[in-house]
Amino acid sequence: MATILEPGQIEAAASSPPFLHLPPRNLFTLRAQGLERLAEGHPLADYLRLMAGLCHLQQEMLDDLPVDEMPDPERLKACQQHGLPPFAADSLVREGDWMPFLYALLLRYKPPPQPAVKSAINTLLGANPGQLKAWAVALVSGQFTLLPAEVVPFLGAALQVAWSHWLLDTPNLELKPGDSLSQCPACGSPAMAGVIRHRGKFNGLRYLVCSLCACEWHVVRVKCVYCEQSKGLEYVSLDDDRYAADQAPLRAEVCPGCNSYLKLLYLENDAEAEPLSTDLTSLLLDMRLEQEGYQRLAPNLLLAPGGE
């Protein structure tokens, strides 16, 4: 039976923004290119190029999967029926479906000569499955102090490939908003950053980008994604000049209510910008805001807080 919409309902439906955007299949290539572009002249150039190489490997793995098994479809269906994230990281990470991605990454990776990188790879290769799961649980739950800082980028990279694969290759997904604005509707992980889009009907809309699976979901602007208040929000960049800050492609939305912040990427000021790479190249902004007493609640799985 067809539903007849009144004129006002038609206008509302037409103006309602899409809730979700899936990541592009060349997601990791775009990240690698962003890191390579931003590494030029950057104080952390060596680290950024190291992460760019890791992102290239992530793309190779996504294009040539080590395993093609998917999570139990009945489980996904049950989660969807109950409005839960179908790829819930806090539970799936305790199972073994993601581990072939880690082993494949470790075997395919050609480590550069830096001792710290070789140590990280050897640490992961020498760990038993139980230890690897424990570290992965700590990582997706934001407990970075419970695993060696040196293994974070490599473990995080493997988890990202697994979850992005499941997200992209599962047909007929129906995702609903999470329990909080900052929670990914696909896997329940926290957002890494926000993107302000600049083209067509999406112009000016804010989408949050998942730190794990890279799903993007719409959240209205000028609202703290953590405490949901709008009062007193400020927008700061690395440029102290107020006019220049208003034109900066990267700004932090700072909330005085809960003393938190979220980085926002304005594509109208840099159409080639990519969230993960821009985040890694703007750590000075994190340091500044931390010194001012604000906390970052948005993880980047290729970086352990407080280290490179």
Read off the pLDDT of residues 18-40 as tens digits, 9 standing for 90 and up: 899 999 999 999 999 999 999 99
- DSSP-assigned letter for residue 230: -
The model carries a pTM of 0.91
Q: What b/e string do you get for 198-219 counting C-beta neighbours within 10 Å, with b at 16 or more?
A: eeeebeebbbbbbbbbbbbbbb
Phi, psi (rounded to 5 degrees) for 149: -60, -35
Q: Which of 235, 239, 216, 214 is nearest to 294 (CA)?
A: 235
Residue pLDDT, tens place only, 99-152: 999 999 999 999 888 899 999 999 999 999 999 999 999 999 999 999 999 999
pLDDT reading at 56 higher than 70 = yes
Contacts of 301 (CB under 8 A, 6+ apart): 139, 152, 153, 156, 157, 159, 160, 192, 211, 212
Burial (Cβ within 10 Å: 0-12, 13-18, ≥19) of residue 168: middle
pLDDT reading at 74 higher than 90 = no
Q: Which residue has the tokens 């999406």?
A: 202
Contact 213, 195 (CB under 8 A): no
pLDDT reading at 215 higher than 90 = yes
pLDDT reading at 2 higher than 60 = no
Give the span between the Cα atoms of 27 and 31, in whole angstroms. Answer: 6
Specify the 3-state DSSP secondary structure of 80. helix
Contacts of 260 (CB under 8 A, 6+ apart): 224, 226, 227, 254, 294, 295, 296, 297
Q: Which of 307, 260, 135, 276 is nearest to 213 (CA)?
A: 276
CB atoms inside a 10 Å sphere around CB 189: 29
Can you give the pLDDT at residue 25? 97
Residue pLDDT, tens place only, 272-295: 899 999 999 999 999 999 999 999
